[in-house]
Amino acid sequence: MKDPRITTLAEVLVNYSTRVKKGDVVLISASGFEAAPLVKELYIQCLGKGARYVEYDFSLPELSRHFYNRASREQLTYFPQHKLDFMKKVNVFIAISAGDNSMVMAKARQEGMIEYAKVVRPISDWRVKHTRWVITRYPTHGAAQEAKMSLEEYEEYLFAACCIDWAQESRKQDKLKKLMDKTDRVRILASDTDLSFSIKGLPGIKCDGRFNIPDGEVFTAPVKESVEGYITYNCPTLYQGKEYTSARLEFRKGKIVSATSPGMDAELNKILDTDPGARYIGEFAIGVNPGITEPMRNILFDEKIFGSIHFTPGQCYDECDNGNRSAVHWDMVKLLKGDGEIWFDSTLIQKDGRFVHKNLLDLNPRD
């Protein structure tokens, strides 16, 4: 039986996020065959909107693992020009991850992953800058297990976080964006965390369902060399197939001068040494999705947890350009629920994961 929630999710992606229209060239890219029901529904809806051409492809992480482990230098450095050529014809890009094992890359050769990411970066850069794109997830048994839920519970959680009134959420986010735009100094206080930095002159950007589903954050970036202090992240984070817990970063004049994670210090620092920009911060964001309340070991969800921030080593976004450039963009999440404060200049705006500023109270979830 067809799940009506899949149809609703496809409608959000097609009608709201990417605004598919007559004459568009659409690429639907799915990682994992489990995403087929959503791919089918997206395909049908894009055709119904009058898209001139709809391409779809499926990839398997297991094959990528073999590539990173076995590819020669020549194979790793080969640039797939045909993919860039096609991307230049694409108007709409919809990506779906339906991975059944987030640790599939845990034993993959890290050097191969880093090198190939640099090689194909022009394709993703073109996609981000020149298409109406969105990224989402499809529920699988593996993802449910990692979230410590049954598949049925995970499906309910996912669809509740994705299929909401994004136009209404966008209006709520306006107030936080306006406050960010007027702020100079930010301070984050929590357990083993005391960070201060400036966001002066850097705009607040709403994430209101246009590029990620689920969405729900407002981000900016620190003035590159303004970050001082330290932060210990309390949300597990996955990067290149490896899991890092309790990662702790110390900053001096914007640069990460010390980085530790229990049992993973070498791996963590290897990523941060990818290039000079990997040791500077490209994004500061506050999570505001009312339907996402706990870590799922899935960054597309975890970075939107209400009552969280993420403080991201690596590449900044063009919309909020603080000058940092890197092949790395690693969203690392700090949960502030029950323990934490966010200060904008001399004003406390959030305490223990709930907004206390009078202009931001509408953002708090209804109890």
User: Across residues 71-94, what is the average pLDDT?
Assistant: 96
Instruction: Grade residue 297 by pLDDT with cuts at 50, 70 and 90.
Output: confident
Instruction: Grade residue 15 by pLDDT with cuts at 50, 70 and 90.
Output: very high
pLDDT score recorded for residue 39 = 98
Pairing of β 185-190 and β 281-287: unpaired
**What's the one-letter identity of residue 9?**
L
Q: Give the lowest-confidence range in 52-56, 89-93, 294-298.
A: 294-298
Pairing of β 132-137 and β 92-97: parallel
pLDDT tens digit sequence for 330-347:
999 999 999 999 999 999
Six token digits for residue 12: 């959000």
Instruction: Grade residue 367 by pLDDT with cuts at 50, 70 and 90.
Output: low
User: Across residues 286-312, what is the average pLDDT?
Assistant: 92
What end-to-end distance do the CA atoms of the chain give, in Å? 34
Q: Where are the domains of the chain?
A: 4-162, 166-363
Q: Are 204 and 3 in contact (CB under 8 A)?
A: no
> Is the bond into 4 cis (omega within 30 degrees of 0)?
no
Q: Give the lowest-confidence range in 15-19, 82-86, 144-148.
A: 144-148
**What's the one-letter identity of residue 230?**
Y
* Interior angle at CA 129, CA 128 and CA 134, nearest 5: 35
Q: Across the chain, which distance is largest between two alpha carbons, in Å? A: 58
Separation of alpha carbons 46 and 55, rounded Å? 10
pLDDT score recorded for residue 104 = 85
Run of H or E residues at 85: helix 81-87
- Taking 90 as the threshold, does the pLDDT of residue 296 lie above it? no
User: Across residues 3-28, what is the average pLDDT?
Assistant: 97
Could you give the dihedral angle defined by the CA atoms of residues 116, 122, 125 and 131, in that order, rounded to the nearest 10 degrees? -120
Q: In percent, how much of the chain has pLDDT > 70?
A: 99
Six token digits for residue 122: 């022009």
Q: Are 39 and 56 in contact (CB under 8 A)?
A: yes
User: How deeply is 139 buried, as exposed, middle or buried, from its count of CB atoms within 10 A (0-12, 13-18, 19+)?
Assistant: buried
> Is the bond into 214 cis (omega within 30 degrees of 0)?
yes
DSSP bridge pairs for 355: 350
pLDDT score recorded for residue 147 = 84
Instruction: Grade residue 151 by pLDDT with cuts at 50, 70 and 90.
Output: very high
Q: Are 132 and 138 in contact (CB under 8 A)?
A: no
DSSP structure string for 178-238: HHHHT--EEEEEETTEEEEEE-TT---EEESSSSEES--EEEE---TT--EEEEE--S-EE
CATH architecture of the domain formed by 4-162? 3-Layer(aba) Sandwich (3.40)
Separation of alpha carbons 202 and 232, rounded Å? 25
pLDDT tens digit sequence for 84-107:
999 999 999 999 999 788 778 888
pLDDT score recorded for residue 253 = 98
Q: Are 316 and 297 in contact (CB under 8 A)?
A: no
Read off the pTM.
Answer: 0.79
User: Across residues 38-44, what is the average pLDDT?
Assistant: 98
Question: For residue 321, is it left (φ>0), alpha (ψ between -120 and 50) or beta?
Answer: beta
User: Across residues 312-318, what is the average pLDDT?
Assistant: 95
- Taking 90 as the threshold, does the pLDDT of residue 226 lie above it? yes
Instruction: Enumerate residues 6+ apart whose C-beta is below 8 A from 154.
Output: 139, 143, 144, 147
pLDDT tens digit sequence for 111-130:
898 899 999 999 999 999 99
